[in-house]
């Protein structure tokens, strides 16, 4: 599902009229009808005279007036307040003002005095429709509208608030909160979600939001190459639930090699390998430092192990590249996962850089595999190779030299710029993980919960991604990455339901992968 900015949405609406021949007045009619339908379905049966519709002067206000008219036609008479001079209304909004005024009294409110007077008798209202601003705001509220928004909890203490498009006071184009705003219990947006619906903290002010079609042909969105931001939906990943053919064997599903682990950090590599197996890979081998191998092997009988020469600190040594040692281990493997638990020893970092550039098979880089390229990411060889980087914001800051605060504020932009510049696939982890591809397409993942903010969760994700890359070498890499991140979050959500967010551990995510696959199977039927 595409995620749009306000400017992109305005352009799509214009193209819908120009290319599909659907008048803008019809689009507004469809939008308002969708709002009225949402109100009835989510909050019905509705009590007449206890619904208040607040309308501004733009198209958002026009949507609200259409919604009020459709409510009236269902014998649900709303009270409509227009917070602007009717003479300032233009185009479709002006048309719908005239249509509504023939049916329902519209109270014009243009200052605080008239606002206070109008709302004296409205404290009993149970439903409030916010059709003041929609997607048109790009700076903090001020003046009269600021005071109106500020007063809503006091004036309407019992009312559920439903926003048309975006709650007033929020910018549609970012996940930031730019000032005082409406906190909605529900939100109806049109054609596609806006960035504020997807990214925190703004998305947390939406309540339950839905996207309603209003006439834009889906192909108009799909064919527009300039629309690069996508929200993952269940339908994008249900291919993971396709049944396996009967005539297969373990070799059919690939062999993943995890290069990771060291003395004191053996669990990271072991969890990565176990997650890979739980995600369906046919074989998983961990290549680790000689001293760490017994611990890695003890975690799971299904995981194979290979010892590598080590430093005095018990980390993998550069000598692992001598005499074809690692070459022998890597031979025949379909994918490498490099980094979990490898450690930060300078010699080990040198080993990582040389090993990653040595092989042409797909490689997932995580944890210390990423840290090895901090300050020298330009040395990563990516031409004609699949390289998947999975940093959290701190690791990404070390790779790019950017501040964590800037990364968090501009996650989509910095991820997209990085992948296009370096030719890699990027999984920028966090709440609403961002997946970016070298072709400029970016995906946002909706699954997952705060309980997954625990040690080892990233190692589990690395194992899942390596597993899927090994199993599906012919699928587009972006599709595999999107599915892997979604599956990881879905398993985390299953684990949170079972264990609770506070008690959730990374191993719980692995053990809930079967339940996540079963949930996808149910969607696939």
Peptide bond into 45 cis (omega under 30): yes
The pLDDT of residue 485 is above 70: yes
Round to whole Å and give the CA distance between 159 and 390.
44
The per-residue pLDDT for 378 is 97
Check pLDDT > 80 for residue 368: yes
Q: Please give the mean pLDDT across all residues of the chain.
A: 95
pLDDT in tens, 82-126: 999 999 999 999 999 999 999 999 999 999 999 999 999 898 999
Percent of the chain residues past pLDDT 90, beyond the cut: 93
pLDDT of residue 137: 84
pLDDT at position 175 is 77
pLDDT tens, position by position, 167-196 = 999 999 987 888 999 999 999 999 999 999
* Cis before 201? omega within 30: yes
pLDDT at 155: 93
Residue 314 pLDDT > 90 = yes
Structural domains in the chain plus CATH codes: 6-225 (3.40.50.10260), 250-426+452-484 (3.40.1190.20)
CA 39 to chain centroid: 26
Neighbour tally for 128: CB within 10 Å:
23
pLDDT confidence of residue 174: 82
Contact 323, 336 (CB under 8 A): no
Q: Which of 425, 422, 340, 433 is nearest to 387 (CA)?
A: 425
Rg over CA atoms, the chain: 27
Q: What is the pLDDT of residues 9-26, one digit of tens each?
A: 999 999 999 999 999 999
Three-state DSSP at 387 gives: strand
Nearest to 169, CA basis, from 155, 158, 153, 157: 153
Can you give the pLDDT at residue 123? 85
Q: What is the DSSP letter of 80?
A: E
Instruction: Name the nearest CA neighbour of 244 among 479, 472, 483.
Output: 472
Containing 463, the helix (H) or strand (E) segment is helix 457-471
The mean per-residue pLDDT over the stretch 229-237 comes to 97
Structure tokens at 389: 């980087």
- With beta carbons less than 8 A apart as the criterion, state whether 170 and 205 touch: yes
Predicted pLDDT of residue 49: 74
Residue 322: left (phi > 0), alpha (psi -120 to 50), or beta? beta
**pLDDT at residue 225 is higher than 90:** no
Q: If we measure between CA atoms, which residue out of 349, 445, 137 comes closest to residue 145?
A: 137
pTM for the full predicted model: 0.94
- CB-CB contact of 443 with 199 (8 Å): no
Could you tell me the two tokens for 290? 């000689």
Q: What is the 3-state secondary structure (H, E, C) of 471-508?
A: HCCCCCHHHHHHHHHHHHHHHHHHHHHHHCCCCCCHHH
Look-up of token digits 């297969």: 248
Q: What average pLDDT does this structure show over 458-478? A: 98
CB 151 within 8 A of CB 116: no
**Which ranges constitute the DSSP H helices of 86-194?**
91-101, 112-119, 143-155
**Least confident interval from 132-141, 333-342, 489-498:** 132-141
pLDDT computed for residue 136 by the predictor: 77
- Distance between CA 480 and CA 483 in Å, rounded? 5
At residue 220, does pLDDT exceed 80? yes
Taking only the tens place, the pLDDT of each residue in 30-79 is 999 999 999 999 988 888 779 999 999 999 999 999 999 999 999 999 99
DSSP string across 124-151: T-SEEEEES-GGG--S---HHHHHHHHH
> For position 178, what pLDDT does the model report?
87
Residue 525 has a pLDDT of 54
* Cβ neighbourhood burial of 210 (10 Å; 0-12, 13-18, 19+): middle
Percent of the chain with pLDDT over 70: 100
> Which residue reads 């369906």 in tokens?
280
524 has a pLDDT exceeding 70: no
- In this predicted structure, the answer to whether residue 236 has a pLDDT above a threshold of 60 is yes
How is residue 98 written in tokens? 């005239």
């Amino acid at each position: 599902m595409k995620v749009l900015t306000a400017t992109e949405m305005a352009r799509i609406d214009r193209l819908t009229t120009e290319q599909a021949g659907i008048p803008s007045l019809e689009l507004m009619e469809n939008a308002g009808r969708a709002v009225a339908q949402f109100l009835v379905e989510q909050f019905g049966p509705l009590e007449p005279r206890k619904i208040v519709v607040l309308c501004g002067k733009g198209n958002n206000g026009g949507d609200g007036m259409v919604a009020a008219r459709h409510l009236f036609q269902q014998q649900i008479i709303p009270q409509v307040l227009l917070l602007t001079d009717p003479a300032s209304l233009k185009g479709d909004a002006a048309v719908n003002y005239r249509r509504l005024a023939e049916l329902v009294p519209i109270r014009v409110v243009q200052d605080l005095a008239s606002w206070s007077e109008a709302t004296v008798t409205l404290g009993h209202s149970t439903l409030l429709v916010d059709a003041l601003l929609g997607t048109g705001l790009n700076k903090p509220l001020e003046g009269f509208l600021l005071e109106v928004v500020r007063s809503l909890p006091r004036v309407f203490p019992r009312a559920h608030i439903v926003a048309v498009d975006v709650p007033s006071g929020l910018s549609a184009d970012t996940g930031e909160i730019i000032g005082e705003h409406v906190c909605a219990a529900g939100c109806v947006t049109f054609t596609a979600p806006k960035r504020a619906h997807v990214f925190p903290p703004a998305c947390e002010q939406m309540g339950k939001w839905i996207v309603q079609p209003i006439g834009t042909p889906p192909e108009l969105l799909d064919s527009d190459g300039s629309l690069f931001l996508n929200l993952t939906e269940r339908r994008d990943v249900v291919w993971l639930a396709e049944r396996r053919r009967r005539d297969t064997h373990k070799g059919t599903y690939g062999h993943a090699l995890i290069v990771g682990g060291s003395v004191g950090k053996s669990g990271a590599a072991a969890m990565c390998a176990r997650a890979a197996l739980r995600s369906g890979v046919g074989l998983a081998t961990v290549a680790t430092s000689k001293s760490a191998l017994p611990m890695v092997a003890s975690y799971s009988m299904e995981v194979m192990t290979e010892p590598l020469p080590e430093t005095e600190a018990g980390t993998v040594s550069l000598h692992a590249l001598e005499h074809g040692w690692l070459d022998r281990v890597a031979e025949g493997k379909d994918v490498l996962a490099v980094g979990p638990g490898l450690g930060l020893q300078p010699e080990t970092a040198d080993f990582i850089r040389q090993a990653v550039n040595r092989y042409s098979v797909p490689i997932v880089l995580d944890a210390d595999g990423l840290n090895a390229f901090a300050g020298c990411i330009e040395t990563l060889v990516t031409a004609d190779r699949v390289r998947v980087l999975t940093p959290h914001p701190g690791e990404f800051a070390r790779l790019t030299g950017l501040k964590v605060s800037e990364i968090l504020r501009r996650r989509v932009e910095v991820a997209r710029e990085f992948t296009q510049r370096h030719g890699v696939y990027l999984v920028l982890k966090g709440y609403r993980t961002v997946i970016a591809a070298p072709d400029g397409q970016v995906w946002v993942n909706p699954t997952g919960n705060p309980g997954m903010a625990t040690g080892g969760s990233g190692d589990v994700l690395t194992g899942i991604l390596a597993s899927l890359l090994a199993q599906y070498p012919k699928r587009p890499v972006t599709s595999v990455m999107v599915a892997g991140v979604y599956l990881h979050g879905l398993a985390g959500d299953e684990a949170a339901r079972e264990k609770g967010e506070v008690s959730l551990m990374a191993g719980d995510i692995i053990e809930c992968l079967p339940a996540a696959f079963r949930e996808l199977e149910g969607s696939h039927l």
